[in-house]
Every structure is written in C-alpha cells, then in structure tokens.
Amino acid sequence: MKKFYAARPLLGLLFVFSVGTVKAQQDVGDLFVSGPADATKLVNAYFDPLYKGLGVGLSDGWNNTARSKGLFKFDVRVSASAAFVPQSARSYDVNALGLSNIKPAAGSSSIGPTAFGADEEGGRMQVYTSSGVPTGKFFNLPQGVGFHVVPSAQIQATLGLPKNIDVSLRAMPKIKLGSDLGSLSMIGFGAKVELLPLFMGNSERLVPVDIAIAGGYTQYKYNLPLNIDNTANSDQRIDAKFSGVNFDAIVSKKIMFFTPFASVGYQTSKTDLKALGTYSFATSATTSATYTDPIAVKQTDVDGLRGSIGFQLKFGFFKFYGSYTAAKYSMVNAGIGLGIGQ
C-alpha cells in the first residue's frame, strides 16, 4: 500500500518522543486530485486529535511547586506528557466536512479513523470533478495508529533570580530526524513569581503554604522536504509550527522531601501548518491538475481553563515529578530533574 505522505511528517514529529512505526497510509496525491479545499478539510479532520493533544502538552510540566528557587539556584529537567484522546475524537464523518469533490463510494461507509483512531482503513471514497462527474479515482480514508494517547516532551532549565522569581528556558536546537522525517526544533520561555514573600518578607509566614503565579510559551517547528509523484518539483515541503501559551496560579506545601501542589489556569495553543510547493497529478487518462501551496492550516486548537494536581519528590540533587491535568484533553506528566536548591 502506498504511504500517506501527509501523515508521515506529523507522526514523525510525534514519535520522536514515543514509540511505534508510522503505518502505511494512502497517497496524499489521491486527496489533492479533488483540490486543495477538500484536501485541507480531510487533513484537518484526520489530525484534529494531534493538534489538540500536542497543544495541551506544549504548556504542560512547567512547574511542580509554588516555591521559587534561591538566588542563582538552578535545575534541569526532562519530562514527558501523555494526552488522552476521547472516544468522540477517534473518528470523523466525511459527510459532515462539507467536501465538494469527494463522496463515499456506493455502499461504502463515510466514517474514517483519525490519526489516533483504530488501526484500520476508513470508508472507500470516490473523487468527482467540480461539475459532479466521476473521475474514476478511488481511495480509502487513512487508518489510525491504533492507540489513543498523544505524547509530547519537555526539556527545561530553570534559574532562581532576585525577588523570588524563577525563569525557565525550553530549548532544543534544530535536529535532523533523517531523510524520511525531516527536522525539528523547540524553543520556550517561562517565569514564576512566588507571592507571599512580596507581602510578608522573610519573617515567619502566617500562611502555611506557598503561592505563586506562572506563565510560559512553547513552540515546536517542523520541516520536511517532500517528493510526491513529482521528481521535477523540488520545492515541495511541509512547514509547521505548534505553539502554546499558559498562565497558572499554583499552591503547594513542602513536607520534608515531598511537595504536593495544585494549580488552576488558562491555556491556548495554535497550529500553523502548510504544504508548500507545486504538485501535479493526473486526474484522468487525458487530463491533469497542478496545485501550488495546496494546504494551509492556521487555527486555534485549545483555548480554555485547566486544573492540575501533582507532586515533587526531592532527594539531594535529584528530583522526581508527576502530575495530572484536566483540560481540553486530560493528560498526565512525569519527569526527572537534577539541580541545586529548591
């Protein structure tokens, strides 16, 4: 079976931090034959849980305690999140997408799995011309990966500054994942302010907990050169940006080496994905179509409140983290850290 080339780059990004082999999928050329508008709608429907799952994961794992670090104290942490795809987001109905030139073939289902749906092909589709004439082209909706968790990862360094402020950096230089998976980079910035010392100074605290406000911004960039049925069109590529912003109020209580915490906040995430270049396809035995920059996705995927509970364990220089977050997609986060100070 031909591979679904639109799926490979995004799933490649996903599996940098996880497991598995990208499933063989239907050639994206079959989608382009129907025109960029229909192709964009199908790509959006198929990858919707990836957009949302990665969106909530981007802003996860910034803080596991409200207490700020001492001046110039620091730590480095690596953590991973898993966002759970609900049942309603594991499939889609092409009849609900408003497609112009694609319809289910006679006697075929209109349902297809999303990227995190069942590991089986969806219904068989037939492609029509803009005037409603069948082109003779058929394809099956692409299959899912067979599991329902969207993973993401965070690599973060945090430094304590004056006035009970922490600043954090998330960074990964551009790395090449191989000729089939393109390149990936990450950048992010965050800050946290512990509130009670601002009002109570260093005197004995009347409130037996730590309280802070925090915020962060994270962005993944992904690029993949393509060569889809067009060896002469070397400008084909996928350019994608996934960005997330969060603001949180945090309360925690240190009990020896154990620090439980809870937080409430707001998060938003956006996807900006483009299939760029020139793509030419045969639409019949005697006709062809050429599309330039055929797919453009620019949208807000997550925009709402979230709540988290979790803990930090500290043993000397080593720290262990864990948390659960209720948001657009619920998720868990776990990680380890190494550093000096709280």
Q: Could you give the CA distance from residue 28 to residue 5 in angstroms, rounded to a whole number? A: 6
215 CB neighbour count, 10 Å cutoff: 17
pLDDT in tens, 174-203: 887 666 667 888 899 999 999 988 877 655
- What band does 43 get if pLDDT is binned at 50, 70 and 90? confident
Q: Which of 89-103, 202-216, 225-239 is predicted with the least confidence, judged by mean pLDDT?
A: 225-239
H or E element that contains 259? strand 258-276
Map out the domains of the chain as residue ranges. Answer: 7-340
Q: Could you give the CA distance from residue 220 to residue 54 in angstroms, rounded to a whole number? A: 10
CB 125, CB 106: distance < 8 Å = no
pLDDT in tens, 105-141: 999 999 999 989 998 889 999 988 878 888 888 888 8
Region for 50 from its dihedrals, namely left if φ exceeds 0, alpha if ψ lies in -120 to 50, beta otherwise: alpha
In this structure, the dihedral spanned by the alpha carbons of residues 259, 260, 266 and 267, taken in order and rounded to 10 degrees, is 70
H or E element that contains 338? strand 331-340
Write down the mean pLDDT value for the chain. Answer: 84
CATH entry, 7-340, from 2.60.40, 3.40.50, 2.40.128, 1.10.1760: 2.40.128
What the block records as the tokens of 276 is 């760029």
Stated pTM of the model:
0.83
Q: Could you give the CA distance from residue 33 to residue 18 in angstroms, rounded to a whole number? A: 33
